[in-house]
Amino acid sequence: MSSQADKKLTRRWIRPLPKQVVNKIAAGEVVERPAAVVKELVENSMDAGADRIEIVIEKSGSSAIKIIDNGCGIDADQIEIAFSRHATSKISGFDDLNDLATYGFRGEALPSIASVAQFRMVSRTTDADVGQEIIIEGGVLQGVQPIAAQVGTQVEIKNLFFNTPARRKFLKSETTEARHISRVATALALGRPDIGFTYTLNGRKIFTLPSGQSSAERVASVLAPRERFLPVQFEGEQATIEGFVGPPQLAQNNRQSLYLFINNRFIQSATLAHGVMSGYGELLPPRKFPVGAVHIKVNAGEVDVNVHPTKIEVRLAAEREIHDLIHRAVKEALRSDGIIPTFRSSANAHSPSSSPSGNSASSSHGGRIRGIGSPQPVNHQFFKELFENPQAGSVVLTSSSENDQFSVNKETGEIIETGENLVGHETASGAPAGPTDGFRLIGRFSNLYLILQVGTDLYIVDQHTAHERVLYEEMVRRVDEQSVNGQQLLFPVQVELSPTQMAVYVEAADLFNSSGFTISEFGGTMVNVEAVPVILAKKSPEKILLKVIDDFASLRKSGLDLKKAMAQSMACRAAVMSGDRLNDKEAEFLIESLLQCENAYACPHGRPTFIKLTRDDLDKQFGRG
């Protein structure tokens, strides 16, 4: 009897969930964060035929989101129906999914958003004398009434997730949510250059874009003002590829500046993004990602957008083929611009534009091909400016041209330099073996690697990673002490940032201004640069600021401390590069400074600063082992 009673107690009845619960569950999929709300509402405005859309965000979306458009509006007798689950004007049957011409089609966005926020909508059609206002709080209708309004629709969202505290609790910081919103707003604007957009974030107008722009104008004005983008255009059997990509020098430290679209819909696809990157080949430095906007046009029946409630993921019937088309399109765009060298046969080697080896020696726009040409001379005051206060106890370098002494190893016949010309430094107990017991600079390779002899061992030092380590440890100390010296610019420089870059700058503005920069906001997304750190003073202020901001965003995302991220970025940008030839004194100074570092064996990115080749290693390679 007791067992039968237990079964009755555990029996669960099957019944429909209340409407409010259903909408809240749906909101968990559709409304992931404030940026998702912006995307859904703006796509509704675009489906309504608007050619002007205004996006206003307060407190990074958690406080208020306002979307205003001049679209066709919603009829007064249909405004309540719009908040019914799966109510839509965009499809009428399942077959319509095979030929979608709209962004939305599920009928989930409005009821889902209204169930987790305080929602107000005012809409008026062209043939109506007045508009209609509807207010919903937490999925509960509060009222519907006529109201004076302009043609179009205005939606106001306040206190997002106010009735779902668990979801609100797991929102990221305001700066993080602002970056997500800025990326979505940028993507929406890039996808439809024919529509005018105004985007205001936390009281700051980020961009105002006119309607009727060309794709080239929209890409340049949103992604990188005053930069040159390369047109991408290719037509294949499976798809047509169009868009614009930046030259390799515009590459970023993260994937956030590459935007992909299928039939004007912003999507994310690792496969298609790889197609863009592979088109650059070795022109992209390691862990660098291209900037640009690439539109893929495919037959509507070849793409399934009904994969995820957010509609940002899609399935393609010919994904691999389209990947290859994108790869080819980007590669052809770079080659036609002269960035990728074209190799000529010996038959036309006499061409003025060809080198004797058959390599193209100039680009189509008259400049040298990337990677070809004489290296830039190094600034010989560089080390003097950096190490203006050497640490106590540092070894004083002596010239190897004076008091040279040599001895000959009678067993090997090797000439060994001894005496004062060997630079010495004590090795810390337990530290990995390094060139710390006296070294002799014996050569260079490819104006990047310094070759040292230490006893019977050879050390090959990467001058860039070595210098980066030296600068990094010095900069960490100076950033922490706020003692980074700044160099005042003769004329201040105004730098236009992208919306995402502006959000990063705002987050770290105080740190920038205590690290040798003097920067102030100049309106919109433009900043005014009056001073830069001394170690970066020889570089372009505009380029160095953009690079540091991009570095900072990437390093911060990986979890690095703010001050260390700033120090690492400045060290990387200031370090001598491949092709910078150091004289003997500078090379010795660099190596000795490296040996004084807390971690002399790797740069801040984890790459080794030197490798060691022992006599035994060489003997084995030559069969003497």
| 523-576 residue pLDDT tens | 889 999 999 998 888 888 998 899 889 888 887 766 677 888 888 888 888 888
Check whether 403 has a pLDDT greater than 60: no
Going by pLDDT thresholds of 50, 70 and 90, the confidence category of residue 520 is very high
Check whether 25 has a pLDDT greater than 70: no
Q: In CATH, what class is 19-209?
A: alpha beta
Q: What is the pLDDT of residue 429?
A: 37
Q: For residue 95, what are its two tokens?
A: 């077959």
Q: What is the pLDDT of residue 4?
A: 57
Q: Which residue has the higher pLDDT, 533 or 389?
A: 533
Rounded mean pLDDT of 446-453?
90
Check whether 397 has a pLDDT greater than 50: no
Q: What is the pLDDT of residue 611?
A: 84
Outline which parts of the chain fall under CATH 3.30.565.10: 19-209
Cβ-proximal residues to 457 (8 Å cutoff; 6+ apart), any chain: 435, 612, 613, 614, 615
DSSP 398-425: --TTSS-EEEE-TTT--EEEEGGGSB--
The DSSP 8-state label assigned to residue 472 in this structure reads H
3 state DSSP class of 72:
coil
Going by pLDDT thresholds of 50, 70 and 90, the confidence category of residue 418 is very low
Architecture of domain 378-625: 2-Layer Sandwich (3.30)
**Hey, how many other C-beta atoms are within 10 angstroms of the C-beta on 237?**
7
CA–CA distances in Å: residue 336 to residues 21, 215, 260: 57, 20, 22
Going by pLDDT thresholds of 50, 70 and 90, the confidence category of residue 426 is very low
Report which listed range, 142-151, 165-174, 428-437, is most confident. 142-151
Going by pLDDT thresholds of 50, 70 and 90, the confidence category of residue 329 is very high
* Domain 215-308+315-336 CATH (choose: 3.30.230.10, 3.40.50.300, 3.40.1390.20, 1.20.810.10): 3.30.230.10
CA distance 428 to 410: 32
The structure's pTM equals 0.62
Check whether 196 has a pLDDT greater than 90: yes
Least confident of 236-245, 337-346, 510-519: 337-346
Q: Biggest alpha carbon distance in the chain? A: 107
Report which listed range, 150-154, 174-178, 237-241, 372-376, is most confident. 150-154
Rounded mean pLDDT of 206-216?
94
Cβ-proximal residues to 517 (8 Å cutoff; 6+ apart), any chain: 486, 529, 531, 532, 533, 545
Rounded mean pLDDT of 21-35?
67
CA–CA distances in Å: residue 156 to residues 57, 109, 125, 232: 10, 14, 18, 39
Least confident of 99-103, 113-117, 434-438: 434-438
Check whether 623 has a pLDDT greater than 50: yes
Outline which parts of the chain fall under CATH 3.30.230.10: 215-308+315-336
Rounded mean pLDDT of 139-159?
94
Q: Which residue has the higher pLDDT, 466 or 621?
A: 466
Note whether 71 and 153 are within 8 A (CB).
yes
**Hey, how many other C-beta atoms are within 10 angstroms of the C-beta on 64?**
17
Q: What is the pLDDT of residue 339?
A: 60
CA 104 to chain centre: 28
**Hey, how many other C-beta atoms are within 10 angstroms of the C-beta on 249?**
13
Q: What is the pLDDT of residue 310?
A: 64
| Averaged pLDDT score across all residues of the chain | 78
Strand ranges inside 305-404, DSSP E: 315-316
Q: What is the pLDDT of residue 308?
A: 61
Tell me the sheet residues that pair with 231: 244
Going by pLDDT thresholds of 50, 70 and 90, the confidence category of residue 98 is low
3 state DSSP class of 563:
helix
Rounded mean pLDDT of 329-346?
65
Report which listed range, 26-40, 184-198, 363-377, 495-509, is most confident. 184-198
Q: What is the pLDDT of residue 156?
A: 96
